[in-house]
Each structure stands twice: as structure tokens, then as C-alpha cells.
């Protein structure tokens, strides 16, 4: 998207096709209800066999990538999986064992990935459901992680105990995407086709001057 190069698009298409072929598990169509959403698993490189029984919170960014690719229905279904986990705990455990339906790694360091995908889905669909998701996330952050000076990492999602730690990406990404989700008249939202976000939440202008002549 940034540079408009065909070879970049071809590499992405090849990678995305392989991901869908070898890493996707679940039903062929989206269904409502926990456990019925598509799941993307870690696989062995030489065989494509499932390698682990967990997914991690960083993967919640992938529905946003699917939005940008135009695979909107898959993005909606995939996002619903991570939101159902958020609803279960009030945040996303770092690793969630989909086989045991329980967290393997129980901390949540205020990561932005689910909020990022929520923002991109709202921009693509304008469905008010994603504003509801954002409000739910904001409520959880304010009621479970807010501290005397900032917001704190959740040490254990089962008891919502906290650590004296706030990662820098909370301000640069998590809060940024939440702000933009609700600031409907923000110039970035009104002219969203003129900007793109890096994986670290930096906002870059899209310009023909970045394209090959």
C-alpha cells in the first residue's frame, strides 16, 4: 500500500494464501458463538501440522491486516474470537490455550492489537458494534488497570492483580487507536485513504512520491 510495488503485493498474496491454507482452523464460514470462529494456529514449517495449542495476544492484529487486504468477512469473524476472549477475562492473556480454553501465560501488558483491529474494522464497516467493543475495552482498562499514575500491566488475568509497569506502546498505540476510534471527525479519519499506520502505530502519508517512477 505504501509504495505501490507489484512485487510487494505478489509476496503478500503468496504469504496470505499460505497462511489461509496451512494455519487456518475452524469452519469454512463464519458462525456466531464462542468456539465457532476461525482460528490461526502455529504450525510446523516442514509439514504444516499444528505445532502448539495456543494463540497469543499479538495475533489480534491480524484481523486488521485482513481488513486492509479486503478479506472483510474473515476479519470480522477472526476479530470476534479475540473479543470473546477479552469478554471472558476483561483483557487478553498473553497466551491463550484454545484446546483447554484457558490462558497459558496470564499477564496482559496493555497491548494495542485488539484495539487496532477494532479501529480498522469500524473504519471499514462503520458498524456501531465496533464502537461498543471500544467502549467495552475502555471500561475494562479504566476499571481494572488504572493506577495512581498511569495504567498498569495485568499480572494475572484470573485475579486481575497488577504489576508496577506501563509499557510505552500503551500511549503510542493502545490509547491512540482508542482515541481515533471515537474521534469521528479527526482529519485522519475523514481522509483515511491518505494515510497508513505502521505496525507500531506511526501515521504515514500515502503519496505518489513514494512510488517508483
Nearest to 111 by CA among 182, 167, 159, 149: 167
94, 113, 116, 173: the catalytic one is 94
C-alpha distance from residue 15 to each of 47, 49, 127 (Å): 16, 17, 29
**From CA 4, how far away is CA 1, in angstroms rounded?**
5
Q: How deeply is 151 buried, as exposed, middle or buried, from its count of CB atoms within 10 A (0-12, 13-18, 19+)?
A: buried
Measuring CA to CA, which residue among 17, 19, 16, 12 is closest to residue 48? 19
β-pair partners for 34: none
- Residue 109, classed as helix, strand or coil, is coil
Q: Examine the residue annotation and report whether 74 is marked as an active-site residue of this protein.
A: no
**Total length of the chain:** 213
| 8 Å CB contact between 204 and 196 | yes
Q: Which residues are catalytic?
A: 94
Amino acid at each position: 500500500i505504501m509504495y505501490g510495488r507489484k512485487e510487494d503485493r505478489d509476496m503478500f498474496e503468496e504469504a496470505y494464501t499460505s497462511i489461509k491454507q496451512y494455519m487456518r482452523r475452524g469452519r469454512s464460514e463464519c458462525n456466531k458463538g464462542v468456539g465457532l470462529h476461525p482460528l490461526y494456529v502455529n504450525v510446523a514449517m516442514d509439514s504444516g501440522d499444528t505445532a502448539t495449542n495456543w494463540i497469543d495476544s499479538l495475533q489480534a492484529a491480524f484481523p486488521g491486516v485482513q481488513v486492509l487486504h479486503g478479506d472483510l468477512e474473515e476479519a470480522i469473524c477472526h476479530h470476534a474470537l479475540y473479543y470473546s476472549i477479552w469478554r471472558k477475562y476483561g483483557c487478553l492473556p498473553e497466551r491463550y490455550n484454545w484446546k483447554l480454553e484457558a490462558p497459558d501465560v496470564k499477564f496482559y501488558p496493555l497491548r494495542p492489537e485488539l484495539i487496532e483491529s477494532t479501529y480498522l474494522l469500524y473504519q471499514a464497516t462503520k458498524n456501531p458494534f465496533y464502537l461498543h467493543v471500544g467502549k467495552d475495552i475502555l471500561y475494562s482498562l479504566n476499571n481494572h488497570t488504572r493506577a495512581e499514575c498511569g495504567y498498569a500491566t495485568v499480572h494475572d488475568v484470573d485475579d486481575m492483580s497488577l504489576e508496577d509497569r506501563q509499557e510505552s506502546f500503551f500511549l503510542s498505540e493502545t490509547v491512540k487507536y482508542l482515541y481515533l476510534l471515537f474521534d469521528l471527525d479527526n482529519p485522519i479519519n475523514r481522509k483515511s485513504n491518505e494515510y497508513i499506520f505502521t505496525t507500531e502505530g506511526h501515521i504515514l502519508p500515502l503519496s505518489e512520491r513514494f512510488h517508483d517512477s
